[in-house]
Amino acid sequence: MRIGIDVGGTNTDAVLMDSGPRADSVLAAVKAATTADVTSGIVAALDGLQARHAFDPAGVRAVMIGTTHFINALVEARRLAPTAALRLGLPATASLPPMVDWPVRLVEAIAGRAYLAHGGHEFDGRHISELDEGELRRHAADMAAHGVRSVAVSSVFSPVNSEFELRAAEILAEELGPELPVSLSHEIGRVGLLERENATIINAALRELAAHIVDALAGSVSGHGITAPLYLSQNDGTLMDVGYARRYPVATFASGPTNSMRGAAVLSGLGTCAVVDVGGTTTDVGVLTGGFPREATVEVSVAGIRTNFRMPDVLSIGLGGGSLVRDTGTERSVSGTSIGAERSVNGTSIGTDLTVGPDSVGYRLTERALVFGGDTLTATDIAVAAGRAAIGDPSLVSHLPGGLIEAALDRIATSVADVVDRMRISADPLPVVAVGGGSVLLPDKFPGLGEVHRPEHFAVANAIGAAIAQVGGEVDRVFAIEPGRRDAAVDEARQEAVDRAVVAGADPSTVSIVDFDEVPIPYLPGNATRIRCKAVGDLRLEPSRDRAGNGAGPRAVAPHAAGQAR
């Protein structure tokens, strides 16, 4: 068996699955309210699984968790470590210092300090300038004097040649101690200095928090007697072990939407489709291509910071089961029923032009929604009143006007249909798969988009996506391709991606190339071409051994961080 858990803003979903990655292999599924400390919600979810389908903890091979801890910490600007950004590139790059385009509140939250030093490479590996080790040691002394607890090192074109970043990390360890977390940009972002540097600084600021969170997650799992390896979901739908998560917390940022899309692919059997994941707080819309999320091709803004690490192409709106339903005071007719300011629900006048979201009651849904005895009209109340959901006490929303219910559902359908249409890149029909507990709010058919597919277990597709996640390896490099050597360069990139997936813990017999992109770079000499290649495979299982050294059945092989390097 394996357990998949996905922590959302409102609910923590969990599934218990047997070893087969099929929709009918779900043995039990539960939803538990996400708690303020998150780990308590995970414990409650595991308790729920045990109650619904009693299982032997020793029979669990692996536990996969998708978490919102780290993206929430950045968005809320809390629990971030004092961080220094060290850029290697002088005399070039001095006009735009590190964090030049960051929101002021985030720079203050990390007590950000920027340092420029000599070094860096051209796209073909030539040095911009030589590394000045004395300069680096002086910078390290200043970091120590200002209480820096984490460092982000970036060097111009380090994805092509990482030697200067690696040497800088050695010097920082000598001067500041080997326990100081150092994040290197060639391991985190792609080609593009400022965006890659930004992603590295974010990662560095989260390193301290990552150590605490990973330990807490591991403790919540082991507290149930489960000794199986623990993995966290990454942005691209693949897995990383806890050691890798401690080093690269930024890789978890979009794991929630990615898990939902991967789960939708398995449950629906559709490899290419639009996935609408309606949770308690937000609705995330993405597109699957070949069973994997379509990745963003431009920089992605995270909390107002431009980055270029692996992120799915997802468009999110503030609409979910916990969204507040309000009246803007405008009056019109909905299906012949006038809904104006003269109508009142719990003392609140309800007009026509209803707004649904973007604010939400979040994990306090069971306290504040009308169906749970609360005083706030939410989208969940609308779903119950419309007969689309059977939770809480339906009698508490029986007084809601039919016109109000219809207007709210119409508003939700229109908003989601517009987002799906914006995600299409061609006029070809694109099937729509609805997942997430809040998807009961969606109609059975979108005008102009066709029927909406709701597969079995759609409410916990995100947890299923975590449970069936695979292991990946990626290459993103600039090659100087000599005449007649294009095929050799492509083969080299493909083989390197496969090798990285295998080293990361993938079963060699299952690894395949799922994404390949080749883009010639104009204005650079040497026929420069950027090649990006991604390979994935199933998690490799090997016989484990008990304390006496006897065989004890198959166990998961933990991915190594080296296998995930970009």
User: Which of 148, 180, 212 is the C-terminal boundary of a domain?
Assistant: 180
Who has greater pLDDT, 126 or 348?
A: 126
Task: Output the pLDDT for position 553.
Answer: 38
Please check whether residue 115 lies inside any domain of the structure. yes
Going by pLDDT thresholds of 50, 70 and 90, the confidence category of residue 343 is very low
Please check whether residue 159 lies inside any domain of the structure. yes
Per the structure, the count of domains in the chain is 2
Q: How far apart are CA 259 and CA 6, in angstroms?
A: 8
Task: Output the pLDDT for position 306.
Answer: 86
Question: Residue 159: how many CB atoms within 10 A of its CB?
Answer: 23
Cβ atoms of residues 354 and 411 within 8 Å? yes
pLDDT at residue 525 greater than cutoff 50:
yes
What residue type is 96 in one-letter code? L
Task: Output the pLDDT for position 541.
Answer: 61
Report CA dihedral (310, 315, 318, 320) to the nearest 10 degrees.
Answer: -90
3-state SS track over 288-345: EECCEECECCCCEEECCEEECCCCECEEEECCCCCEEEEECCCCEEECCEEECCCEEE
Going by pLDDT thresholds of 50, 70 and 90, the confidence category of residue 24 is low
Phi, psi dihedrals of residue 207, rounded to the nearest 5°? -60, -45
- Residue 176 CA to its chain's centroid (Å): 32
User: What is the mean predicted confidence (pLDDT) over 334-338?
Assistant: 33
Please check whether residue 545 lies inside any domain of the structure. yes
Q: Both ends of the chain: CA-CA distance in Å? A: 31
Cα–Cα distances in Å, from 517 out to 196, 261, 359, 480?
19, 22, 39, 16
Both tokens of residue 550? Answer: 């006897």
Going by pLDDT thresholds of 50, 70 and 90, the confidence category of residue 552 is very low
Phi, psi dihedrals of residue 239, rounded to the nearest 5°? -110, 155
pLDDT at residue 342 greater than cutoff 60:
no
pLDDT at residue 330 greater than cutoff 50:
no
DSSP 79-99: SPPPEEEEEEEETSSTTS-TT
Please check whether residue 405 lies inside any domain of the structure. no
Cβ atoms of residues 321 and 9 within 8 Å? no
Task: Output the pLDDT for position 191.
Answer: 75
Contacts of 293 (CB under 8 A, 6+ apart): 236, 237, 257, 258, 261, 262, 286, 287, 312, 313, 314
Cα–Cα distances in Å, from 84 out to 115, 140, 176, 198, 239?
7, 10, 12, 12, 29
Task: Output the pLDDT for position 382.
Answer: 92
Task: Output the pLDDT for position 223.
Answer: 84
Phi, psi dihedrals of residue 367, rounded to the nearest 5°? -100, -35
Please report where in the chains the tokens 């923590």 appear, as a residue.
12
pLDDT in tens, 188-216: 877 788 999 999 999 999 999 998 888 88
Q: Which residues pair with 151 in a beta bridge?
A: 84, 182
pLDDT in tens, 133-177: 999 999 999 999 999 999 999 999 888 788 999 999 999 999 999
Task: Output the pLDDT for position 344.
Answer: 41
Contacts of 436 (CB under 8 A, 6+ apart): 260, 276, 277, 278, 279, 283, 458, 459, 461, 462
pLDDT at residue 546 greater than cutoff 80:
no
Query: Residue 552: which CATH number?
Result: 3.30.70
Both tokens of residue 48? Answer: 């729920």
Task: Output the pLDDT for position 524.
Answer: 66
212 in the Ramachandran plot: left (φ > 0), alpha (ψ -120 to 50) or beta?
alpha
User: Which of 151, 180, 209 is the C-terminal boundary of a domain?
Assistant: 180
Q: What is the pTM of this model?
A: 0.74
Question: Residue 534: how many CB atoms within 10 A of its CB?
Answer: 23
Please check whether residue 163 lies inside any domain of the structure. yes
Which residue segment(s) compose the domain that 524 sits in? 470-564
DSSP 8-27: -SSEEEEEEE-SS-SGGGEE
Q: What is the mean pLDDT of the chain?
A: 82
pLDDT at residue 274 greater than cutoff 70:
yes
Contacts of 434 (CB under 8 A, 6+ apart): 276, 278, 442, 452, 453, 454, 458
User: Which of 153, 180, 207 is the C-terminal boundary of a domain?
Assistant: 180
Please check whether residue 373 lies inside any domain of the structure. no
- Residue 226 CA to its chain's centroid (Å): 25
User: What is the mean predicted confidence (pLDDT) over 373-382?
Assistant: 91
Please check whether residue 286 lies inside any domain of the structure. no
User: What is the mean predicted confidence (pLDDT) over 351-371?
Assistant: 79
User: What is the mean predicted confidence (pLDDT) over 558-564?
Assistant: 42
Q: Which residues pair with 90 in a beta bridge?
A: 118
pLDDT in tens, 35-44: 777 778 888 8
Cα–Cα distances in Å, from 486 out to 519, 524, 533, 548?
12, 16, 15, 53
pLDDT at residue 526 greater than cutoff 80:
no
pLDDT in tens, 440-471: 888 888 877 778 888 888 888 888 888 888 88
Please check whether residue 477 lies inside any domain of the structure. yes
Pairing assessment for the beta strands 2-7 and 528-537 based on DSSP bridges: unpaired
pLDDT in tens, 501-523: 888 778 888 899 988 888 887 76
